[in-house]
Amino acid sequence: MAVTLTALDVMRDAPVIPVIVLNDVAHAVPLAEALVAGGIRMLEVTLRTPQALACIEAIARQVPQAVAGAGTVRSAADAAAAARAGARFAVSPGYTRAVGQACRDAGLPLLPGVATGSEIMQAQEDGFTELKFFPAMQAGGPAMLKAWSGPFGDVRFCPTGGISTANAAEFLALPNVACVGGSWLTPADALARGDWAQVTALARQACELQRRPG
């Protein structure tokens, strides 16, 4: 029986949640194994391709050390389909009450996307205090998160969007950031070549990033 996760569990497992776009189901299992070998278990497979749900299902069935999650969840139907495929958490680019309720109904911890104070307040009103800040760089970057630390001191964020090895440490140094999301752990050229050793090396480097405790 799978252990019940919370959104904070997902965020605290490693400094980085990989944002994964898969176009080939055959890549799903070796990619997940490569990330796990590098210390990354929480895997956000985005629902941006027709193969995404099949990829989540393959990871959930064949890589028990990984925790497959669904990203780009935009509707109640997305949440239900992700849960049926074996996803154990969900990430959305924005927030609606319908998506929030659907994830609760499906037993999926949700990291709702927010970019404004009003969106944070709406998500908090519905009981969500672990949020995805998206698109992080375009929406204000570390300066915005610092400004939010006053009025929203009880919220923990996963900034995603424009995060790279060049700026991840700056985000992770903030007290209200629990982790970051990034696509650099799974570069398209490495997937095309089947270079799983590169993916493992990038995951290991990501795990060495320092976070503030808390």
Instruction: Grade residue 1 by pLDDT with cuts at 50, 70 and 90.
Output: very low
Is the pLDDT at 94 greater than 50? The verdict is yes
> And the tokens for 24?
């080939």
pLDDT of residue 4: 84
Is the pLDDT at 211 greater than 60? The verdict is yes
Dihedral of CA 140/155/128/87: which sign?
positive
2-16, 26-40, 152-166, 181-195: range with lowest mean pLDDT: 2-16
Q: Supply the residues annotated as catalytic.
A: 44, 132
Output 211 or 101, whichever has higher pLDDT.
101
Tell me which CATH code domain 7-207 carries. Answer: 3.20.20.70
pLDDT of residue 158: 98
* Cα R_g (the chain), whole angstroms: 16
Phi, then psi, of 198 in degrees rounded to 5: -65, -40
pLDDT of residue 78: 98
pLDDT of residue 186: 98
pLDDT of residue 3: 64
- Work out the mean pLDDT of the chain and round it to a whole number: 96
Length of the chain: 214
Q: What's the predicted TM-score (pTM) here?
A: 0.96
Distance CA 112, CA 90 (A): 8
H helix intervals, the chain:
7-12, 28-37, 52-62, 76-85, 97-106, 117-125, 141-148, 168-172, 188-193, 196-207
Instruction: Taking residues 149-167, report their average pLDDT.
Output: 97
Inter-residue contact 79 to 72 (CB < 8 Å): no
Instruction: Taking residues 180-199, report their average pLDDT.
Output: 97
